[in-house]
Chains A and B, each alone.
Chain A
């Protein structure tokens, strides 16, 4: 009991320290989604992407996935309401959704918790892995089905 409350108290303090960063990040992401800029960007990139064999349906999901977790879940839901879940496109979206995470949120929270500024290298390495995940998702689905 005593050990538990000690650990809990320390973590509560950290949570309070995280709040300003999270407010800034979540507000920015909320505004970005509302502005429709992400959708416009996906529309622009669609022709290039579909030529590479990546389904156009999955692109908006790939764009929003590293930025917003709840946004990506809502997007995945709406894609599957249009595309059959067992189709090629549906499966690419499922693999994409399951194999990546909200990178910006993770970076923001972890760095804020130790009061260190996140520098460029950490964005480069994490986003490289995300990009690889997006490209591989189309290949993986072709390989498995």
Chain B
């Protein structure tokens, strides 16, 4: 599906650029963007290494157990089929906490750990549902302190740049609620049909060491 999306984007941009006389801009963007992507991945790699290491230390000293206990009541019902005190739930709770605190640099690496743990832990039946729920929790992005938005508002002379905080939280919560309904509607009824398409890869991943949970 993602390959279709990317293909459509490529075709659309090339097709539109010809009548709009922007062929030069588009080809220039292609060259700079792929270099940007490498830089982006390098930044992400640094963050992933840092937070992957942090997560493993946090797991060893029991910090993730505390976070998981605090957030468990809210998060557990959203992820059926995951062990309440398993590595996947712990990684999810860390990921959600990072999102809440607005630690964008930490949220993605911790989310990647969480998605790996979900695949390692689960039977194929509910894996896709739980990954969809995790992605939803990340894209609806409930954030307690909207730093970026407030900074840009302050830059253009807003009287109180932070007064958008409550509306943003309310709006995220409403969108998240609709998203949860959508996940239940899409995956709830036909759980058995929605298996993993890359089953072999998932099994391979299950055996490999992931994000600090398995003793090695």
Q: Is the CB of B49 within 8 A of A117?
A: no
Q: Is the CB of A116 within 8 A of B175?
A: no
Q: How large is the interface on A (under 10, 10 to 19, 20 to 34, 35 or more residues)?
A: 35 or more
Neighbouring B residues of A116 by C-beta, 8 Å? 119, 131, 196-198, 201-202
Tell me how far the C-beta of A16 lies from the nearest C-beta in chain B, rounded to whole angstroms: 7
Q: With A and B bound together, what is the CA distance between A107 and B111 in angstroms?
A: 11
Neighbouring A residues of B22 by C-beta, 8 Å? 34-36
Q: Is the CB of B186 within 8 A of A85?
A: no
Closest to B208 in A: A10
Interface of B, helix, strand, loop or mixed by DSSP: helix
Neighbouring A residues of B37 by C-beta, 8 Å? 19, 22-23, 25-27
Neighbouring B residues of A108 by C-beta, 8 Å? 2
- Give 8 pairs: A residue, B residue, CB < 8 Å, sorted on A: A18-B44, A85-B158, A95-B167, A95-B168, A100-B140, A106-B108, A121-B194, A140-B170
Also in contact, A8 and B25, with CB within 8 A (given A95-B164, A110-B131, A124-B182): no
Tell me how far the C-beta of A46 lies from the nearest C-beta in chain B, rounded to whole angstroms: 18
Tell me how far the C-beta of A27 lies from the nearest C-beta in chain B, rounded to whole angstroms: 4
Q: With A and B bound together, what is the CA distance between A36 and B15 in angstroms?
A: 11
Besides A4-B57, A97-B149, A114-B115, 9 new A-B residue pairs in contact (Cβ under 8 A), listed by A number = A28-B13, A30-B33, A31-B17, A90-B153, A91-B167, A100-B139, A100-B172, A118-B2, A140-B174
Neighbouring B residues of A27 by C-beta, 8 Å? 30, 33-34, 37
Please encode chain B, from 106 to 134, with 1 for each CB lying within 8 Å of some chain A CB and 0 for all others.
00110111011001000000001001101
Neighbouring B residues of A132 by C-beta, 8 Å? 174-175, 178-179
Also in contact, A129 and B20, with CB within 8 A (given A10-B211, A119-B1): no
Top 8 closest A-B pairs, CB basis? Answer: A30-B33, A129-B179, A11-B52, A7-B56, A34-B29, A15-B45, A133-B175, A26-B37
The 8 Å CB contact of A80, one of B108, B119, B152, is B152
**Residues of B within 8 A of A (CB-CB), count:** 100
Tell me how far the C-beta of B64 lies from the nearest C-beta in chain A, rounded to whole angstroms: 12
Also in contact, A99 and B175, with CB within 8 A (given A11-B211, A12-B49): yes
Closest to B168 in A: A98
- List residues 190-216 of chain B with CB under 8 A from any CB of chain A: 194, 196-198, 201-202, 204-205, 209-212, 216
Q: Is the CB of B197 within 8 A of A119?
A: yes
Q: Is the CB of A11 within 8 A of B109?
A: yes
Tell me how far the C-beta of A18 lies from the nearest C-beta in chain B, rounded to whole angstroms: 6
Tell me how far the C-beta of B157 lies from the nearest C-beta in chain A, rounded to whole angstroms: 7
Tell me how far the C-beta of B116 lies from the nearest C-beta in chain A, rounded to whole angstroms: 6
Please encode chain B, from 162 to 187, with 1 for each CB lying within 8 Å of some chain A CB and 0 for all others.
00101111111011101100110011
Closest to B205 in A: A114
The stretch that binds A, out of B4-12, B69-77, B78-86, is B4-12
A130 at the interface (CB under 8 A from B): yes
A51 at the interface (CB under 8 A from B): no
The 8 Å CB contact of A114, one of B12, B182, B187, B202, is B202
